Structure 1
Amino acid sequence: MGQHYVVFDFETTGFSPQKNEIIQIGAVKYDDMHQEVGRFNQLIKPTRSYPPTKISKLTGIWPAALVEQPVLSEVLPDFLAFSRDSLMVAHNAPFDVSFLYQAIVDCEIENAPHFQVYDTLSEAKKLVQMPNYKLETFKDVLGIDLRSHDALNDCLITAKLYQYLQNLSRPPQPQAISTESLQMDLFGGADTAVTEEVRRKLSLPITKELVYYRRDKARNWQKFEVTGLAVTAAYSTGYSLTVTLYNNEKVTIHSDFLKEMQKANFINEISKEE
């Protein structure tokens, strides 16, 4: 038996979580038998700038449709409540996750839930051979006739893809978790790269690469759980934090790191090494 999950998709005014904004949140919730149990679909009024013409042509969302919509801070808490305690599924998840975490920071959401994220793009690359892995390409394979680049439609397509991938034969994959206490114990005075010692302390497999970062002052840390992604952060101080995750392994990182990672566009998709 599987687990309940929420397939989600954002339409945005551009591709940078720091410069651009979410203008539509679409999400569909499924139970552990893959039966739909709820939908979330909301247009959002941007606070900085409306989508350019090329984005409107792509998404079908024009500025006039957004003028009377609620702003993100009014919508995000409802979306987080809708998604709580569910596996989060997205196609090219690093893009949507980066906007989600930036939204949590920008809206000053306290006690935000932890997320486990399943990326159908990276998983599909491991499990099926395709000419390309765009969501539109999978519509023919899955027998779906829906307009792409609408958040809710993309959720329905991604859900079918997720279910398709779940039906493919695959052995269970190991997971590795870095707890808050283990990670924070490392934040001392060291300023050199750490390898085997840190891997052992975090109980991370040898496939992990972790470069140490020292915090300068006490922070109010908030944990985020990232699954199946490559995450990297570089800082002006010369320190950096890099965690490379394979095969749906997961690690808990802190919001301060995540924010810097997003600024540097260092949240990337990664495929399994052959």
Structure 2
Amino acid sequence: MNYVVFDLEFNMFFPFKEGDSANPALKNEIIQIGALKLNDQLEKIDEFNLLVKPYVYKRLNPYVKRKTNINTSKVIPRRPFWEAMESFEAWIGSEVVLCSWGQDDILGLRENCSFFGFSANFFDKYIDIQKIYMKYEGLPQQPSLESAVDSLEIEKALPFHDALSDAAYTVDIFRKVYDFSKDAIINWEKVQRENEFKINELKGLLSQTNIYCPECGNYVAKDKEFSKSKKYFAHGFCQQCKMPIRHVARIINKNGEFTIVCKDNIYIKGESVK
């Protein structure tokens, strides 16, 4: 079994002229794929580095240009996403575990594949190296890649915010913290199905939460309610305090556990004041 440690660079919407708008179906568009392939001893056996021609956001966001040192002229003549992904999937091969720093890249890869209609067959096994590092260091908050490199005293010989360089740094971290535990390997498709089931189950409970006045603590009857994605909003009026109350309940995911978090506020003129 091999490991493919990958990193992505993205372009996103920027209003270059009046009337420009973002595409809600694709917030971040892949413009670079960098990856290293390791054997079962975590020894490098190959690397992959490819710039991708943008289709939705054809001009590069100025922030992205500054951060990555990639400009529009570099990506325009490159391969479009579906050709780049065909090359990447062929290079990955079979019997591999896909690895990245955190879940942003795997989610971004999934979103781009879905948008462009590319059926990716390599999402079934995945390792979140950031999560392993956090457990290794006992960290409660997600650290940046660079802070982990500094903490582990890894030599900083490559620029950050380049997909291949960031993948190389992630490999250095991986070698220091991975214990070859099978528990670290996630069945990505299975986890996503389970997460979707948990979210749908909790969505059914959102509207069952009650409103209480944050001023006096009394129960407040709901007179208006609506849902939006993973959030539920309800409004009521506290007869004792003579104040409108807004209730917000939302589904959160913390360390893989989905829960409902609720908050009641005094709500005056469209703004929460408590």
For residues 117 and 174 of structure 1, the distance between their equivalents in structure 2, rounded to whole angstroms, comes to: 8
Q: Residue in 1 aligned with 2:56?
A: 48
2:143 to 110, 133, 136: 133
For residues 198 and 183 of structure 2, the distance between their equivalents in structure 1, rounded to whole angstroms, comes to: 18
1:157 to 161, 169, 172: 169
CA RMSD for the aligned pairs? 3.9
Q: Residue in 1 aligned with 2:37?
A: 29
For residues 267 and 107 of structure 1, the distance between their equivalents in structure 2, rounded to whole angstroms, comes to: 29
Query: Displacement of 1:109 after TM fit?
Result: 2.5
Q: Is 2:100 the counterpart of 1:90?
A: yes
Unmatched 5+ stretches in structure 2: 14-23, 203-225, 231-250, 259-274
Query: Displacement of 1:118 after TM fit?
Result: 1.0
Tell me which protein shows more strand as a share of its residues: 2
Q: Write out per-residue CA displacement over residues 29-62 of structure 1, whole angstroms, 9 at most, x where no aligned residue.
A: 0001111111110001101222211111101111
2:107 alignment partner AA: S
Q: Write out per-residue CA displacement over residues 80-122 of structure 1, whole angstroms, 9 at most, x where no aligned residue.
A: 2222431111112x21111211222223224633431111112
Which has the higher relative contact order, 1 or 2, with Cα contacts under 8 A spaced 6 or more apart?
Answer: 1
2:155 to 143, 146, 150: 143
Q: How many percent identity over aligned positions?
A: 22
For residues 120 and 174 of structure 1, the distance between their equivalents in structure 2, rounded to whole angstroms, comes to: 9
Instruction: Give the count of matched residue pairs.
Output: 198
Check conservation: 1:212, 1:239, Cα contact below 8 A. Answer: no
Taking structure 2 as the reference length, the TM-score comes to 0.60
1:14 alignment partner AA: M
Larger Rg: 2
**Alignment partner of 1:13: what SS?**
strand
Taking structure 1 as the reference length, the TM-score comes to 0.60
For residues 189 and 26 of structure 2, the distance between their equivalents in structure 1, rounded to whole angstroms, comes to: 28
Change in 2 beyond 3 A, CA 1:178/1:135: closer
Q: Residue in 1 aligned with 2:255?
A: 270
**Alignment partner of 2:118: what SS?**
coil
Query: Displacement of 1:237 after TM fit?
Result: 9.2
2:135 alignment partner AA: K
